[in-house]
Structure 1
Amino acid sequence: MQTAGLIAGGTTLVLAALAMKYPDRPIFTESRDDIPSSGTYPLIGITPKIFRNKETIHHFFLEGFEKLDSLTTTAAGIGMPRSVITIDPRNVEHILKHNFENYVKGPMLNDTSSDLLGHGIFNANGEVWKYQRKTASLIFNVKNFRDHFTEVFVRHIHYMGKHIFDPAIQTGTPVDFHDVMFKFTLDSFVELSFGVELHALGSKEKVPFASSFDACQLNVFQRFVNPAYKITEALSGILMPWRTTIQQHLDTMDEFAFGVIEKRRKQLANGEEYGDLLSRFMSAKNEKGEPLGNKELRDVVLNFVIAGRDTTAQALSWTFYSLMTNPQVEKKLLEEVQENITDDLENDPSALYEVIKGMKYTNAVLNEVLRLYPSVPANQKYALDDDIWPDGTRIKKNDYVVWSPWSQGRSTKVWGDDAKEFKPERWLTPEGDIRRESPGKWPAFHAGPRTCLGQNLATLEAVVCIVNLVRQYEFSLVPNQDITYQVSLTLPMKNGMNVYIKRRK
């Protein structure tokens, strides 16, 4: 008994000594007293806070910054590398633009997301990223926007109205607007990029490919905060065999992607011609000067689907949520729509394209939505070398750097006392023009060399949808819903958004 007591006492002394040496970080982690911290635990760092707040992680980041005098903080956890987190616009622009070459997609991102994204444009660095961006850029030109893209969007919006919204009006039944937006953007983007008509809007159920894609995205983010994910995912498959595994979801996506690729190969071999994204990549060479294999094409397909489908669907969902909860904004938006959009424009996509570019308040509404509900709410990179940020923060080689557009958009230190208000007017100059903010302050479409290639496409799709739906329909929220985000790579609504619909009088 005496020996056991001595051992216990000795262990306590050792732990106490270690806790004094590592008061705010995991054991054997380097101290970074030069960077403010919002408070973590001895020997285990931020780990308990991350697990406790993993369902509301964006609120957690914001609350941390609101407690600090600084717009930059640092944290480390068990199995989680040291991260330096900032919402300082100067730092964000420095990372994305001014010292772009020093910050890359790091090993943690590649490890957690390689199953889903492979070597597609989101994960790629260097020459692999450059050739993908160059090849994809060929499809994003003004002629396609004016003559083709707008027509596709309008056609699918008309289908949505006729087959989903109008029947709901007749029966008085609510519609999950969030789910409809995902089907709309999936149908539109798959047609534009891969020449395939998926008919998601015509299906009453979720498309299996889309459901699996959502599950894998959610899983990637969960891996970020769960260093033991390989073990827990394996145990989940054993202990809950009735649940669909991540591998089964990946198999569903691969079946779709490889099916599209093989069909297109046969079509091209038969002499058919296509100008879509997939066909351009099939005729392109990779960074080694070789034609792309099916696995490379699969990665391209899935990366552009997440870029084209998810972010715009979410932006549209948060837009209409914001309009329904801010009727004064909806009224002002409707006035601009009615002043500019006529029946004949809906049948002339090229003319519609030209008109909506000049609708300042509508574009201001979308900018404000992306400030408060950024489609990529948090992002990270990996420092290749030491650096000093504009606010004086010293970055060390192998640091992970994180910026949080969701927190930044709501920070009164960045956007002023009314930061949490939905106020499109902040985007208009006294002359009525759209105000341009630095991409460091408003990184909705990233910045620098990796500025979102599809920014204009996403904006076009969103604005075309907004003006068409606002002109035709009145939406109202079904009472007693919990409208909140799902923690994922992007910003989906966790529980969807059920709405009642009326025809606009």
Structure 2
Amino acid sequence: MNSRADMTSISALTVATITAFLAWKYPDRAVFREHRLGLIDLEGTPLLGNLPSMVQNIDRFYDYLTEHYERLNTLTFRTTRIFMPNMIHTTDPKNIEHILKNNFEGYIKGPSFDYMMHELLGKGIFNSDGDRWKMQRKTASRIFHVKNFRDQFTSVFVNEINLASREIFDKAAVSGEIIDFHDIMLRFTMDSFAELGFGVALNSLLKRAEFADSFDALQSHAFNRFVVPGIDAYETAKHYLTYWSKTKSIKQHLETVDVFAENLIKQRRQEEAAAKLAGVESEKQDLLSRFMRETYANGETLDDVDLRDTILNFIIAGRDTTAQALTWTFYQLMLYPEVQAKVYAEVEQFISKEVEADPARLYSVIQNMVYSHAVFFEVLRLYPSVPGNQKEAVKDDVWPDGTRILKGDYVSWQPYCQGRSTKIWGVDAKEFKPERWISEEDGSLVRASPFQWSAFNAGPRVCLGQNLAILEALVAILLMVKRYKFQQAPGHKVEILNLITLSMKDGLKITVEKREP
């Protein structure tokens, strides 16, 4: 039995036990849900609310929500779960704009989100609010400027793709072996971001790091916390029940991740100390160095715990999101060979050997490749790297659609569900159609509202690395399509794995064929 099946069965037993106890202890109580005029409630069971159906559908959670949006013919509804906050879900672009921009101060991450994510993210940028968040965002924003994109960033991405080509794809093309494209993309983005963000060469393309497995396990645990009460107790029990199999516990995964971050910090502090001893000022401008030099309003510098949180938050941003987007992109290119052929034709038109060898020229040329951008944007519409998000209301509010929000309510919006909504994108919403991003009038690239296409969030918390992610993804897509033809391995089934990001349960198994030069 796999771990997900174990988790579902044990969670069901836990739910049944809790239900029996509460029915005996509090026979007159059910999940609290006050009536609000005009708000649609998803029907559930007495006492437990929607928890049983959510546990049953945990492996397809966002498809489960999408089906209810469509079945109820609504853009907003509410769910309930015993021992968990009631949640008001929405895909309405006007509501999302209200939450993320117009009433930005009215919604925070809140204690529930912090509890779910604290072990992994600590007090980092994704898990914080207020002054702490503002300081981290201001510091991080200084690295994302045009000159870096044009020169250093593009060069790093090209070098890492060249390494993947030599060490992985070329060899697979010769041997005919089946390789896991998803795993390769996670290692590619990890190496790229480690160099840009932390100034270190991890070389995980050559050997998968233990850190990556633990990082993914912690993400999976954090996602399960959002859905299933008692998951921490389950994980503890599972660890002791499978102790002799040497399966890592969540605590052990956390230790692995912490050691990884601590080693990065220790190495950088030693470098900074050596530079100071030599009487020279460090010239490192990566994210880690910038945060080491940053101070809070009271003049204190960030301690090692703060820096650890910074590292892990930006690994999710820099490694996971782009890797997932790249994997889903090539999955679509393999499903639709005619789309892959069009991307290849555009590559042949724009990217010569001379352009490929010049990072500044490559950066400029990519900006004009409309169809390739359209393909990537369409992938993010259907497979957004962060499929869902939530916040807590700090005061009463009324949304543009009339939904009444009370202080303490938890609200959620899901880019995954939004991209599949026929009420937003039309009857062909679930179709992969890159042409929807290209103007019929002049052939230019069409940009949707960030509140309708919220793959990169929106408002004051819009993704700082949006342009970085698009550049990295397009460099990888275009150079790989230029060099290879990819095919999905026979019999391999692609399924979603819900982490904090939209992953693949069993990877993306492929075969590679080199194109004629």
Length-normalised TM-score, structure 1: 0.94
> Which amino acid in 2 is paired with 1:166?
D
Change (3 A) 1:28 1:423: closer
Q: Does 2:104 match 1:106?
A: no
| CA distance, structure 2, for counterparts of residue 439 and residue 311 of structure 1 | 17
Q: Does 2:350 match 1:346?
A: no
Deviation string, structure 1 residues 26-76 (Cα, Å, up to 9, x no partner): 434434454112321122211111111111101100111111122100011
Asked if the contact 1:128–1:287 (Cα under 8 Å) also holds between the matched residues in 2, the reply is: no
Deviation string, structure 1 residues 146-170 (Cα, Å, up to 9, x no partner): 1100000000000000000001111
Q: Does 2:445 match 1:434?
A: yes
Q: Look up the SS of the partner of 1:300 in the other structure.
A: helix
| CA distance, structure 2, for counterparts of residue 334 and residue 160 of structure 1 | 19
1:4 alignment partner in structure 2: none
| CA distance, structure 2, for counterparts of residue 91 and residue 29 of structure 1 | 21
Q: Look up the SS of the partner of 1:476 in the other structure.
A: strand
> Which amino acid in 2 is paired with 1:425?
E
| CA distance, structure 2, for counterparts of residue 277 and residue 350 of structure 1 | 22
- In structure 1, the gaps of 5 or more residues are 1-11
Deviation string, structure 1 residues 259-304 (Cα, Å, up to 9, x no partner): 1101111111111431111001111112433111000000001100
2:340 alignment partner in structure 1: 330
| CA distance, structure 2, for counterparts of residue 234 and residue 309 of structure 1 | 28
| CA distance, structure 1, for counterparts of residue 509 and residue 439 of structure 2 | 35
Asked if the contact 1:38–1:65 (Cα under 8 Å) also holds between the matched residues in 2, the reply is: no
Residue of 290, 311, 318 corresponding to 1:308? 318
| CA distance, structure 1, for counterparts of residue 216 and residue 232 of structure 2 | 19
Q: Does 2:256 match 1:246?
A: no
1:465 alignment partner in structure 2: 476
* Pairs within 5 Å for 1:348-497: 348-430=358-440, 431-497=442-508
Asked if the contact 2:154–2:472 (Cα under 8 Å) also holds between the matched residues in 1, the reply is: yes
2:213 alignment partner in structure 1: 211
Asked if the contact 1:213–1:249 (Cα under 8 Å) also holds between the matched residues in 2, the reply is: yes
Asked if the contact 2:236–2:249 (Cα under 8 Å) also holds between the matched residues in 1, the reply is: no
Deviation string, structure 1 residues 326-377 (Cα, Å, up to 9, x no partner): 1121111111111000111121111100100111111111100000000000
Q: Does 2:330 match 1:320?
A: yes
1:3 alignment partner in structure 2: none
2:262 alignment partner in structure 1: 258
- In structure 2, the gaps of 5 or more residues are 1-19, 276-281
Q: Look up the SS of the partner of 2:451 in the other structure.
A: coil
| CA distance, structure 1, for counterparts of residue 83 and residue 37 of structure 2 | 20
Deviation at 1:380, TM superposition (A): 0.5
Deviation at 1:234, TM superposition (A): 2.3
Q: Does 2:58 match 1:48?
A: no
Residue of 85, 88, 92 corresponding to 2:92? 88
| CA distance, structure 2, for counterparts of residue 393 and residue 438 of structure 1 | 22
Q: Look up the SS of the partner of 1:273 in the other structure.
A: coil
Length-normalised TM-score, structure 2: 0.92
| CA distance, structure 1, for counterparts of residue 54 and residue 299 of structure 2 | 44
Alignment size in residue pairs = 486
| CA distance, structure 1, for counterparts of residue 32 and residue 166 of structure 2 | 62
| CA distance, structure 1, for counterparts of residue 105 and residue 298 of structure 2 | 21
| CA distance, structure 2, for counterparts of residue 388 and residue 479 of structure 1 | 51
Deviation at 1:424, TM superposition (A): 0.6
Deviation at 1:113, TM superposition (A): 1.0
* Pairs within 5 Å for 1:249-288: 249-271=253-275, 272-288=282-298
- CA RMSD, Structure 1 to Structure 2 (Å): 1.7
1:195 alignment partner in structure 2: 199
1:229 alignment partner in structure 2: 231
Q: Look up the SS of the partner of 1:291 in the other structure.
A: coil
Residue of 29, 39, 43 corresponding to 2:43? 39
| CA distance, structure 2, for counterparts of residue 88 and residue 103 of structure 1 | 17
Asked if the contact 1:38–1:67 (Cα under 8 Å) also holds between the matched residues in 2, the reply is: no
> Which amino acid in 1 is paired with 2:198?
F
Q: Look up the SS of the partner of 1:292 in the other structure.
A: coil
Deviation at 1:231, TM superposition (A): 2.0
| CA distance, structure 1, for counterparts of residue 165 and residue 412 of structure 2 | 41
Deviation string, structure 1 residues 295-322 (Cα, Å, up to 9, x no partner): 0000001100110000000000000000
